[in-house]
Copies of this chain bind each other. A is one copy, B any other.
Amino acid sequence: MVRPPFDASEYQQRLTAVRQELNRRGLDLLVVTDVANQNYLTAYDGWSFYTPQAVIIPLSGEPYWVGRAMDAAGGKLTAWMSQDHIVGYPEDHVQQADRHPMDWVAAWMARNGWGSARIGIELESYYYSPKAHSRLTAGLPNARFIEADLLVNHIRAKKSAAEIDYMRKAARIVESAMRKAYEIISPGVRECDVIAEIYATQVGGQTGYAGDVTALPPTILAGENASAPHILWGERRFGAEETVALELAGACRHYHAGLARTLQLGRAPSKVVDLAQAVLEGMEAVVERIRPGVSAEDVHGAWQAIIGRYGLKKESRIGYAMGIGYPPDWGEHTISLRPGDRSILEPGNTVHCILGMWMEGWGLEVSETILVSEQGAECLTQFPRELHRK
């Protein structure tokens, strides 16, 4: 048995919050298809989501984890529920042309008395396919399916002290990873060798705790690739005069802290120095503005006021709620720091504010993972923000 990251009482609180919402919406149960939400509610942890799996939350009693038979062993080791709430579908349903795991899950749900239930279900999650959904609904023709995207995510937005503790550990990991990158990056070094050391630092964690692979890989934007925020590394070597933007994270028990910084090899072009000044001023304004009661769009406004003064524009949002993440994304898909998002910040919210400016052929990034505290804002990582010269 792997010890779940949280006490039983914390999982009960999460379930209670989900059930309040199910009752409010008149739903009989919730089918959780998002892997991060599955982990949040059950502690289940395994790289098994390449075959269909779901967590089912009835209005009372323990949740069920339903997945591939081979992975039920991992369910019994990692999830907090009783063994009979870990349900494996047979191996002969895996990647077959004539049957689907969701055929089996539908039949199992019918046997469990949910054949005519009002079923809330997540329909915008990464590992739940249109085919899986059509087979589940075909197998339960008398049930009613009601979209429940983000129901759990909105509950996740407010972190407990124990969750914040994991995010602080993640922050220590990403500080180490960024220090390692600063140390190694030099003209002539291959990108892949820097990313290799970043991975080693992320996964090795710290004394006392392991790290996880982060939900997005480390990115290094430099040279010809600097305009493309999500490009992957290669064998390219750093040039003698290059602006290198790094977006990294650390993860502990899948809780993330993000950190982006920019490093200058050789002479810094004045356009880089000028942009760095605007972005740093923007970040100060953002951190200053964040406190309980302020809206997400207000925070964006603080940034907008600064860069507007510099004659700059940024189309994409400047931040999002962050916490548990599994590939491919560490965002929680709730709060976004952008115009039109009227979410009101409250203590326990955690947002990754990423000021990424991807210009034609070069780019600059600075980010902070920010905890909304009773008093205002707390940056979870402690790492010098300015353009690093080397």
Chain A interface residues (CB < 8 Å from chain B): 1-2, 45-50, 69-71, 73-74, 76-78, 90-91, 94-95, 123-134, 147, 149, 190-193, 195-197, 199-205, 208-213, 216-217, 219, 224-225, 227-235, 315-317, 320, 327-329, 331, 333, 336, 358
Contacts and interface: CB of A to CB of B under 8 A. Distances in A.
A317 B70 CA distance: 11
Nearest 8 CB-CB pairings of A with B: A192-B210, A74-B228, A196-B204, A50-B329, A199-B199, A130-B133, A50-B328, A200-B200
A196 B203 contact: yes
Contacts of A77: 224-225, 227-228, 231
A130 B130 contact: yes
Nearest to A52: B124
B191 A210 contact: yes
A204 B210 contact: no
14 contacts: A2-B225, A2-B234, A46-B231, A73-B358, A74-B229, A91-B315, A91-B316, A124-B130, A128-B129, A130-B133, A131-B149, A200-B200, A210-B233, A213-B213
B235 A45 contact: no
A210 B189 CA distance: 12
A320 B96 CA distance: 12
Nearest to A327: B327
Could you say which of A45, A123, A200, A333 has the most chain B C-beta atoms within 10 Å of its C-beta?
A200
Could you say which of A123, A196, A225 has the most chain B C-beta atoms within 10 Å of its C-beta?
A196
B70 A358 contact: yes
Could you say which of A49, A224, A230, A358 has the most chain B C-beta atoms within 10 Å of its C-beta?
A230
A333 B70 CA distance: 17
Contacts of A202: 196
Nearest to A328: B50
Given A315-B91, A327-B327, A210 B235 contact: yes
Contacts of A210: 190-192, 233-235
Nearest to A74: B228
A273 to B, nearest CB: 23
A103 to B, nearest CB: 13
